[in-house]
Structure 1
Amino acid sequence: MAKRDYYEVLGVAKNAPEDEIKKAYRKLAMKFHPDRNQGEGAKAAEEKFKEAKEAYEMLSDAQKRAAYDQYGHAGVDPNAGGFRGGPGQEGFGGFAEAFGDIFGDIFGGQGGGRRAGGGGQQVYRGSDLSYAMEITLEEAAKGKETQIRIPSWESCETCKGSGAKPGTSAKTCGSCQGSGTVHMRQGFFSIQQTCPHCHGTGKIIPEPCTTCNGQGKVKKSKTLEVKIPAGINEGMRIRSAGNGEPGVNGGPPGDLYIEIRMKPHDIFERDGDDLHCTMPVGLTTATLGGSIEVPTLGGKAEIELPEGTQHGKTFRLRGKGIKGVRSSYPGDLYCHIAIETPVKLTEYQRKLMKDLDKSFREGGDRHSPNAKSWTDKVKDLFK
């Protein structure tokens, strides 16, 4: 049986933010939890529970969600190396792991990204950070190297990273005995969750350092060198590994995702690798034909207008678009002709226009490419 769309499983839109996805997941997890569904419907509830868990694990991970949005289920297929999951784990950590994570998420745990550290303390991976960068169309086409300032954490010099006021020290948490976790009972299950008193550190600081407020680290900022690849487009992201928030209890840091935003361009509109522009053309040039210059990202190009060029006519310049990040060849430039009607005519020019119009009328419909077809449509309307 084909898998359902993950967004459909959770009942959220494809552009739903993380908090909405988490809220929808919690609601489904509570509804289909095996402890709440006994008897005849237990099997069906268990399948829905597992389905919701898998959907949440994919959509709550920035990398997996991006792969799923681009390639669908194939992008996160364990057989294609999309994510870890050994034999018997059903491709998303197994049902046993799902039970442990869902309990922690519903009853106060910190969710995914954790593992056991030394002394039984929970080790957490740092959160990912997002940075919006606005670039021009020219920068997107050619690529660029730039610098950005992001927040970072450094060990507190006052307490040397201990979090305790100088001259004092941290003590073992009495609630969890230094393990960082406590157990609570829910029905037939004993649930392990992060200790609410020490927040998983296994330690209590009676007298926190006044500089870092007991965190053992202070917030600073640092400069990162960022390389924007040529051909990048709106909504694409660049991953900077290890530059997210620091982990807890020695856990690895998260990643920084630089999200690209495109500034509006005065002339061009981008459509994938193709560019579009509107070229104003005078009435005389459109009527008699002639050569016009059109702008491109690489300079100028010429287009030969045939005699009688009509408003809205589109000319295609091959290879004058943008070469995308994953493209082998550049796109095309489409020039849309906009014929300009003369304004603020002199009396002499008005007379010339009237004389010209009179000569057109005497010539019948042969000067108008659409007159006959339009007349036929009018006749058909009154039949």
Structure 2
Amino acid sequence: MQHVCPDCRGSGEVISEKDKCPQCKGSKVTQEKRVLDVHVEKGMQHGQKVVFEGQADEAPDTVTGDIVFVLQLKEHPKFERKHDDLYVKHNLSLTEALCGFQFVITHLDGRQLLIKSNPGEIIKPGQYKAINDEGMPHHNRPFMKGRLYIHFNVDFPDSGVLASDQCRVLEKILPQKSSKQLTDMELDDCEETTLHDINIEEEMRRKQQHQYQEAYDEDDEESSMPRVQCAQQ
């Protein structure tokens, strides 16, 4: 029978006790601590690697490997990065969206950016605006930067009722209604309806649970039905 030599452990070499190194005890390898400075350059992307060649663990008769650091981009509470561009969300009141706005954004480097609308400009819900050269620096070209995109959301008033005189004033200022004006005869042929306030996410969740319960009940009915066997000839 064959087995590994207990003295050399299969290496084919034995070092006498008097010749053993006092540090490695004959293993030919010692442990040491080393400080590596990882330099993250401007504009480096998520998942990009910083490689230290030949700095991994060493062993006799083997090629020394590399130490690789993989960058992980930490999320920011306000800014979102996409490649070399930055995205930020901002809520406007209905008055600001219609009559103009002015606010300040504190950038990542601490600078204060004044953001304001053009005279007479109207901002629509979901609209984007861009500021050149205020995004992230390009890797290996730090003097070139991406864009800063501002995603606007318009907050409508919480109160759901306007006085009749307020409605008339708004109708004079705002564009005409897009819906067709119905005549009295057309209104007589229509049926009155009632609109209800809902939460669409809760509605969809409730419908999915109802469909799941119906499918579960159908499976129970099929399993409880008696099986008819074929007649033997």
- Normalising TM by the smaller chain, what interval? 0.5 to 0.7
Q: 1-side partners of 2:150 and 2:106: how far apart?
A: 10
Letter in 1 for 2:107: T
Match 2:107 to one of 296, 312, 316: 296
> Does the alignment pair 1:264 with 2:79?
no
Match 2:145 to one of 330, 333, 349: 330
Letter in 2 for 1:228: V
Rg larger for: 2
Higher strand share: 1
Q: 2-side partners of 1:233 and 1:282: how far apart?
A: 35
1:230 match: 42
Q: 2-side partners of 1:330 and 1:262: how far apart?
A: 18
> Does the alignment pair 1:244 with 2:56?
yes
Q: 2-side partners of 1:296 and 1:372: how far apart?
A: 43
Q: Secondary structure at the match of 1:217?
A: coil
> Does the alignment pair 1:284 with 2:99?
no
Deviates more, 1:267-276 or 1:212-221: 212-221
Q: Secondary structure at the match of 1:244?
A: coil
Q: 2-side partners of 1:235 and 1:219: how far apart?
A: 30
Structure 2 unaligned blocks of 5 or more: 1-6, 181-233
> Does the alignment pair 1:320 with 2:134?
yes
Shift of 1:308: 2.6
Contact 1:290 1:307 in 2 (8 A): no
Match 1:309 to one of 118, 123, 128: 123
Q: 2-side partners of 1:372 and 1:248: how far apart?
A: 83
Shift of 1:252: 4.7
Q: Secondary structure at the match of 2:72?
A: strand
Q: 2-side partners of 1:291 and 1:364: how far apart?
A: 22
- Deviation track 1:135-158 (CA, whole Å, cap 9, x = no partner) reads xxxxxxxxxxxxxxxxxxxxxxxx
Letter in 2 for 1:359: R
Q: 2-side partners of 1:211 and 1:332: how far apart?
A: 57
Contact 2:29 2:59 in 1 (8 A): no
Structure 1 unaligned blocks of 5 or more: 1-170, 174-195, 374-383
Q: Secondary structure at the match of 1:223?
A: coil
Tell me the number of residue pairs that the alignment of Structure 1 and Structure 2 aligns: 168
> Which runs of 4 or more aligned residues in structure 1 lie more than 4 Å from their structure 2 counterparts after TM superposition?
204-214, 360-365
Aligned Cα root-mean-square deviation (Å)? 3.6
Q: Secondary structure at the match of 1:228?
A: coil
Contact 1:365 1:372 in 2 (8 A): no
> Does the alignment pair 1:221 with 2:221?
no
Shift of 1:289: 1.1
Contact 2:29 2:58 in 1 (8 A): no
Contact 2:45 2:71 in 1 (8 A): yes
Contact 2:28 2:60 in 1 (8 A): no
Letter in 1 for 2:55: N
- Deviation track 1:229-263 (CA, whole Å, cap 9, x = no partner) reads 111110000111221111423x5522111110011
Higher helix share: 1
Shift of 1:214: 5.4
CA distance change for structure 1 residues 364 and 304 in 2, over 3 Å: closer, same or farther?
closer
> Does the alignment pair 1:203 with 2:42?
no
CA distance change for structure 1 residues 221 and 342 in 2, over 3 Å: closer, same or farther?
farther
